Amino acid sequence: MSRRKQRIWVSVLGTLVGLALLTWGGLWMMSSRDTDLTDPTAGVTASFRDAEGAGAPPIRFTDVASSLGVSFRHGPGPRGRTLPEDSGSGVAWGDADGDGDWDLYVVNFPGPLGQPPDPAGGNRLYRNDGGRFTDVSEAAGVVDLQGFGMGATFADYDGDGDQDLYVTNLGPNRLYRNRGDGTFEDVAVAAGVADPAWSTGATWGDFDRDGHLDLYLCNYVEYDVESDGDAYVMDIGGAAHGIPYTLNPNSFDPVSNRLFRNRGDGTFEDVAERLGVHNPEGRSLSAVLCDLDGDGWLDIYVNNDVSTNRLYRNLGGEVTSEGLPQFADLSAITGTADPRGSMGLSIAEIGGMLGEPDGLPDMFITHWIAQENALYLSVRMPGGGLEYRDKTRRLRLGEMSIDTVGWGCALVDLDRDGRPDLVVANGSTLEDKEDPRHLVPEPVFVLWNTGTRFVQVAASAGNQAARRHNGRGLAAADFDNDGDVDIAIVVNRGHLMLLRNETKTENRALKVLLRGTPAVCMGARVEVETVEGRQIRWWGADVTFLGMHASEMVFGLGESPAAKRVIVTWADGGSTTVENVQAGRLVVPRRGTPDRGPR
């Protein structure tokens, strides 16, 4: 049997196993075309639908993209039925010009895979000019019509005070060094971080605590656009649905991830395999660099598609012969070796709302259709161990996501009541049976946190939030500086949604920025104590799918005019406490480090 036929048979078997639940949870929705597509609760159980909106605040969004100068459209040209085209793309917020406003970078590709670049494609950088946006992509030099774009992250990797930009591609990645004058130069090859593979998510942090930001890079599969063939799956009516070989990740071998250690001279070295964090069997889409166990060292959690997720604990004091921290794979014993198709990832401390606070990051993960999303609650074990427990059903997050494919997500406080709400971009990778040129659109999840569970309120959250889309990347920022969190969502082969939060509330908020070197800020733990309790987030570690939220943190204070205190535990182990902090904006400096401005 030829290698191609062998791989097609592997694809068929892998698809039949991986999609078995579709017989009751997924493909049926493609054949149920009489559903009201304006109703985002269609397909959700009656009991959940009846609960929607009960006692919920009037969370409202308005799509202001076109009115504020953001005219981005994803995916020029006809859909080519390829996995890279259907998977992307991402969006990232960063202060590219250092003026204190959050600028928007949106990733795209230059046309159908294998075709000449279309000038209508390419990535876009929108400069925030006080709440309105100007497209400065060409002048800044960050369009990249030669790359097939996937994701992006901002970070000041060279410590010069300007936010640089790393862009992942199917093919060589870009590291755009910020010149500080509104322009960027691609130094990826010279820095050693170009990587020729299909890269997806990327995250920054100082894993070895040497004072320099390192980069963990997710790679996906060895994609071959010339491959052909179909894998088939049966729906409950007995009809076979073809899943093109080129759309099935099981068809392709996985590619190892990279851990690029920053040498401090503008160059990086890949130490992933040496430290055992390369994840050779994974098909990785996102990862977080964060102190998951509270020992002061940044650990790594990796989201894999059709492969088990991995948790690598940074052993800190135990070093290799090169003096680098050692890592231990604790995926199995911590309960995080999840085999489902994992895409998006968001972290925050959720245990408090369940009466189980431990001060450690909890994780929300989006999954493929019929697999349910997951919320993992961290639990400190006797002897200092760590375990994660799936609280999805208890928080009513499982059943509602049976019929959707989740991508970008954000645990953010939409109504400033002190509880993290949840926004999820959904969009199917299954083709519409009636028109295979298009993928099946799905509802956005706007989930209000009642204090004991999450309730879907998208139907009343505004026209765009209530419609179905093919969402992919999602990133949060208070772009208009009014004290509440706004959302940007990339729509696969559609127009970007810029959802301005217009929720009417008397609740107050505290916005926290950190000032210090990038290495001590990235991954820092920020705790805000109020009369209602405490909220905890991790600076720059909340990565979403193929993108990055604004690093500025927005904490809801409810009706209180002030927070009792703010405690920052820096990534190098130091701490800073500020007492009696009034609502508004707080900049926390790290004493003893050079003043680099808000990070």
Domain boundaries of the chain, sorted by first residue? 1-34+222-253, 35-220+255-589
Q: Residue 328: CB partners within 8 Å, gap ≥ 6?
A: 312, 313, 315
Dist. CA 575–CA 569, nearest whole Å: 4
d(CA 73, CA 118): 13
How wide is the angle at C-alpha 377 spanned by C-alphas 285 and 23, nearest 5°?
60
- Taking residue 304's Cβ as centre, other Cβ atoms within 10 Å add up to 28
pLDDT of residue 437: 86
Q: Is the pLDDT of residue 28 over 60?
A: no
Q: What is the pLDDT of residues 427-464, one digit of tens each?
A: 999 888 888 889 999 999 999 999 989 999 998 898 88
521 DSSP 8-state letter: H
Question: By the 8 A CB rule, do 237 and 577 touch?
Answer: no
Structure tokens at 270: 């890949």
Residue 40 has pLDDT above 50, yes or no: no
Label residue 592 by pLDDT band (50, 70, 90). low
Q: What is the pLDDT of residue 243?
A: 66
Q: In what order do the strands lie in the sheet with 386-390?
A: 342-348, 362-367, 374-380, 386-390
For residue 65, what are the contacts with CB-CB under 8 A and spacing of at least 6?
A: 71, 72, 495, 496, 497, 498
Model confidence band, residue 407 (pLDDT cutoffs 50, 70, 90): very high
Question: What residue has token string 């159980």?
Answer: 45
Element housing 399 (H / E): none
Q: Residue type for 60, please? A: R
Mean pLDDT within 99-111: 96
Q: Are 245 and 295 in contact (CB under 8 A)?
A: no
Q: How far is CA 67 from CA 133, 165, 595, in A?
A: 9, 26, 37
Which tokens go with 515?
A: 């000032």
CATH class of residue range 35-220+255-589: mainly beta
Residues forming a β-bridge with 152: 167
As beta bridge partners, residue 491 has 471
Does 472 have pLDDT greater than 60? yes
Residue 200 corresponds to which tokens in the numbers above?
């997806």
Q: How far is CA 62 from CA 65, 441, 460, 502, in A?
A: 9, 20, 11, 7
Overall average pLDDT of the 42-68 stretch:
65
pLDDT above 90: residue 211: yes
What is the spatial distance between Cα 100 and Cα 586, in angstroms, rounded to a whole number?
13
Least confident of 51-60, 309-318, 457-466: 51-60
| DSSP classification of residue 63 | E
At residue 8, what are phi and psi to the nearest 5 degrees? Answer: -65, -45
Can you give the C-alpha Rg of the chain in angstroms?
Answer: 22
Checking if the pLDDT of 21 tops 90, the result is: no
575 pLDDT higher than 50? yes
pLDDT tens digits, 492-513:
999 999 999 999 999 999 999 9
Count CB atoms within 10 A of the CB of residue 173.
27
Cα torsion for 351, 353, 355, 359, to the nearest 10°?
A: 30
Q: What pLDDT score does 242 carry?
A: 58
| CA–CA gap between residue 134 and residue 127 (Å, rounded) | 5
More confident residue, 34 or 86: 86
Residue 372 has pLDDT above 60, yes or no: yes
Q: How far is CA 418 from the centre of its chain?
A: 22
Element (H, E) at 50: helix 46-51
118 has pLDDT over 50: yes
CA angle in degrees (0–180, nearest 5) for 194-330-315 = 75
Q: What pLDDT is attached to residue 143?
A: 97
Summarised one tens digit per residue, pLDDT across range 160-197 is: 999 999 999 999 999 999 999 999 999 999 999 999 99
Separation between Cα atoms, residue 10 and residue 164, nearest integer Å: 41
Would you say 306 and 14 are in contact if contact means Cβ atoms under 8 Å apart?
Answer: yes
Question: Nearest 10 degrees: CA dihedral of 548, 549, 551, 552?
Answer: 170
14 CB contacts (<8 Å, ≥6 apart)? Answer: 231, 248, 250, 251, 306
Q: What angle do CA 300, 290, 352 make, to 5 degrees?
A: 120
DSSP per residue over 169-222, as a string?
A: EBEEEEEEEE-SSS-EEE-HHHHT---SSBEEEEEEE-TT-SSS-EEEEEE-B-
Range list of H helices, 302-444 = 331-334
H/E segment holding residue 86: helix 83-87
Closest by CA position to 168, among listed 421, 528, 491, 543: 543
H or E element, residue 538? strand 533-538
Q: What is the mean pLDDT of residues 341-349?
A: 96
Residues in a beta bridge with 52: none
